[in-house]
Structure 1
Amino acid sequence: MTFKNHRRMSLKKKLTYLYLPLMILPMIAFAMLSGKLYRDSIVNRSLLSMVDSTSVISERVDDVLEQAENAATYLTISINNLVNNISADGVLSEDVKMYSLLSNELAYSKLIFKDVESIAFIDTSNRIYYSDIELVKDYPLLGKQTLIDHVADSAGTNLWFDMQRRSWMTLSGEEAVVTLGKKVWNINTGKTIGYLFINISEKTLSSGFEQELVEYMLVDDSYQIVSSVKKEKLFDKVADKDLLVFMNLKGASHNLIKGTSSTSMFAKNQLDKLPWTLVAVGDLKSFTADMTNLIVLTAVMLASIILLVVMLSYFVNHWITRPILLLKKGVEVVSSGDFTHRIQVTSSDELGLFAKSFNTMSSKIEELLIRISQEEERKRHYELALIQEQIKPHFLYNTLDIIMKLIEMKQNKKAKRATMTLADFYKQSLSGGADQIRLRDELRIVEDYLTIQNIRYEDMFSYNIDVEEEMLEMFVPKLSLQPFVENAIYHGLKYKDGQGELEIISGHTSDDFVLMIKDNGIGIEKDRLRVLNRVLEQSEPEDDNKQMIHFDGTKHFGIINVRERLRLLLGETCHLKIESETGVGTTVVITIKRSEKDA
């Protein structure tokens, strides 16, 4: 195709030739790459998970075996104490008392070491002592003597026997057990007292093996399966060739081996107590079963893209042939104030260039209006956040001062209670960063604050909170009541003779909700009250007003902050007023206009 022919080609064909390869080929490449990365990620995470699980289960099995060894050590000491304290010659006597005491000691040891299935002790006269009555059976002489001979030849160390099923010296002949044998010496005479045998059930070892996608098993050094959830495999040789190959790999804790019919994942961990290996086996197909969903999703996406490209090609023809009236209509819509409207460009001629320029101008005007609106909103939030951040350190300082004084007064329990209440206060007051919370939550913050103050000023005042139910779900600025409560305590109740009282109550009219914080403290002098109310009534207070209100030489920063936050969040629908009489008390009245939905 020559360059001239390319220039003569229709726009529809140009876009079609451009979109098809640019849209479809990257998606195909992305689907193939993401599929490979997804599969590799699943394999790696699954292998690491198997390694971690194998390590944890191995530790659990070693802990169970260690319990048996600890039980053997404990019983060795206990039997020595029993023999040397009761028998003068340091040997087990045949009386009933000695038999009962030793059997009880075995049963008690089983209670201490929970994972032990059963315990038996055979003295040098072949008398058998047991932890469970089920162990009292006729033991075959050959089997019993074989165990005793192995233990008798040892130097008193722990001797582990292979996992086996046997009908004697176990609670059940159906369950496989691994047995620890130990020769018990008399520590005073050096003579053999007897032989201790401690059984661990195979069920106990395999109790943590049950998982949905992975099969765990214990394999001894002869590749015989000695523990598994699948009991039919017990005492069978490992038949999986891939597993045998993996087990013979030196230094490999996990591997992925592709077999003739499937790909398997393996992990292993060597036990510390016995020459056994914990092996984990998983089928890769089980871990990548959802890959089919990914393939289907990719196919749907590719089909959707092809359909979209075809639709775009169809609409290109209409863009080229749009009449000039579309431009006129677009200009009229934008001139009416709808700057979101865009004129559809239909060509690259003079009309098309004009439409593009007009769209650019409309877009810039729209962006400018949005930016102005966002900046105003951002300024409002910044101002609110700044004011709210100022009040948090103010309260934290006062509360920490209370806790410090309680510690100095050696009132540690109260200090602990105050600290926990302070933590709950900040948990509530932070409120996930929200600047407005429900009145119910605000009252909980106030109650936490009053709890802290009651700890500090014991018996100085009592308080009561009684707010109408319909007001509790109303939103208010966070920390809007606490500064008034703080002022009531520090500047009213603190200097009152006798018991103080503080109330937070509510009321309403047909148009307004009313909240009142009342105290019977010393009140506020008329001149100061007049100045305070004048500042609170101003709609746009000057910066000096935020610093000017002082009572008894103390700057009252909190109530000015509350007034500013109420103004920012509720506007002119909220009003503040303080009523006070010297010697009688003070009432802060917050009036919030009802909304239409509350009316």
Structure 2
Amino acid sequence: MINTQKDTCPKGEFFMPKTIRSKILLITAIVTAALTTLTVSVCFSLFQTFLRQNQLQSAEYSLQVFSGNVSSAMENILNFNQWCCSNMDLARYLEAFQNKDHMPSISSADSGLRITALNAYDRLKEEYHNTYAHEYLTRVIISPDKGRCYLQISDTSAAGTAGDIDRLRQEDFFQNALDNDQYLWIGLMEDPLISVKDSLILPVIRPIQSPYGSRMVGWSYLSVSQNLFLDFLRNFPLEADSWLYIHLGNHTYQLKDSHLQKMISPEYQILSDLEGHAFNEKTIVNRIQTMDHRRRTMITCPLDQDGWSVSLILSEKAYQAQSHAYLALIAGIALMVCLIGMALYILLNRIINRPVQKILDKITAISQGDFSQDLSIEWQDELGRIGCGINQMSENVVTLMEKKVEDEKQKKDLEYQILQSQINPHFLYNTLNSIKWMATIQNATGIAEMTTALARLMKNVSKGTAAHITLKEELALVKDYFLIQKYRYGGNIALECQVKEQKLYQCLIHRFTLQPIIENAMFHGIEPKGCAGKIMIQAEILTAKAPPPIRRHESRDDKCACQSFMVDGASAAGRMEVSCEPSEDILQISITDNGVGMSQETIEKVLKGDTNTKADFFRHVGISNVNQRIQYDFGEEYGIRIKSSPGRYTTMIITLPCRFLENS
């Protein structure tokens, strides 16, 4: 019975499951876990990067919109201030009112100055209203360098006084701003010219040069309201944990409760620059640490004005809220990968495990003696080819078993035929011995020789139980058998044995290998010819380097090459020769007679044992039985092959392994 299970695990698979189903489950679980981990890691990393980039992009866009609006409005205000510093009407006014503290009356000699002042004021007011950002200008003052008579446009109803100019000139920032070549941004401050401190302004002070030289004839003062920043921040998307800063020169302001609050010192520390994270090359992204030691990201966008910029510390709560949404999406992706893994396991179980189980069941059935074919295991894939091979193996096993049974039956029949052919050898031997002495007494030497040969033949039969005997013993049997037949045919046949080396006498062959062939040569070859004939037995050794192909039978016509024979005497008495040549592999013995020959059909019948003729001495122990015995013991590459030319000769060639008796 075939054992289909093994208790030991192959090397390298000690920790592996023993069943394919468990291996599929384990591999699927590992692959699914690996894919899930990889997918979740990649998705989380990509989503995190995407969220950061999206948050940065959104914040940068909002800051760019704010900075663009503020820069545009401030640029418009600065252009208005530049006009004030270069307008001829205002320059004539400033030249005319140098060292004057009051406006001349209508009746005075300088009454014409009033017209100059009115023209300058009208022109200033006109340009003021043409400036679209004038709503952020809370006050405009054009004053001569020396004198207290000035032009003013204000959004307040309170009228200005000469003392306003004096207070303005006394401010710390005034002279510094006036002497600076560029705009000096002194930051947001309370308006020094009004008593109500409800809003902050950004003072802009520039000198006005004479159109006819580089001499300063006056100055301009513009107070820019903080609404310039607050109006554009009104709809700015600012989270609760997000902070916005406006940098004006060396001053920083934080947006709190819709107001700008000046920062004495920064509430964060810049740790590093994050290069390559911004979409605009002018935008700066920093990694900062807040006062509560939290790491945050800050993005800064510059404005068109020198030293102006706006910064935003990104919200972590908004990022976390979006992260939760993406984590839910990642969990869904992981669940989908797990479902795909389960589907893959079910599919692999259907494609691999079930067919393998059916094949295993079939192998188990074969081990229990069921060799029937199962067409359901022959699929259109590699497993189907295995199933087809199993069915073919079952069929071959059945065929082999049937052949084995048939061979055993033939072997038993052969043994029975040999047993039938044997008579009581001891009784026959004693009887023949008595006949021999009677013939000797009566001086009948022929009868004595014949009975002696027959007695020796029977003695060899009675004592022989071994399947193989030496060539010497087989030749002795042939000699006794031939002596009996020679008297039968009147001495018209002869036997000659030639052995070139003495050691060849110890070559082993089957018992009664040569006798049936010689008997066939006499009865079916020479006797039907009706005249004297001869038989030649020639043995030779073939080397293993060039063994001749074993052909079951071979018939040649009259023109074929054949062995020539030596004929002794005019009576053409038959002569048998046995010549043996040493070799190391194959012993070949050829038995040739010059009888009637055989046709192709007869050769096939002789080898198959289909002839109805019976041997004269050993019944049913014919050529086919000799051939079968050789092939049973040594294989189908050995045996008997026949050459024949009808009317001329027949040669039977026996091939055997060259084996010697151990004690030879």
> Is the pair's TM-score, using the shorter chain for normalization, greater than 0.5?
no
User: Which protein has greater RCO, CA pairs closer than 8 Å, 6+ apart?
Assistant: 2
TM-score calculated relative to the size of structure 2: 0.41
Query: Computing the radius of gyration over CA atoms, which structure comes out larger, 1 or 2?
Result: 2
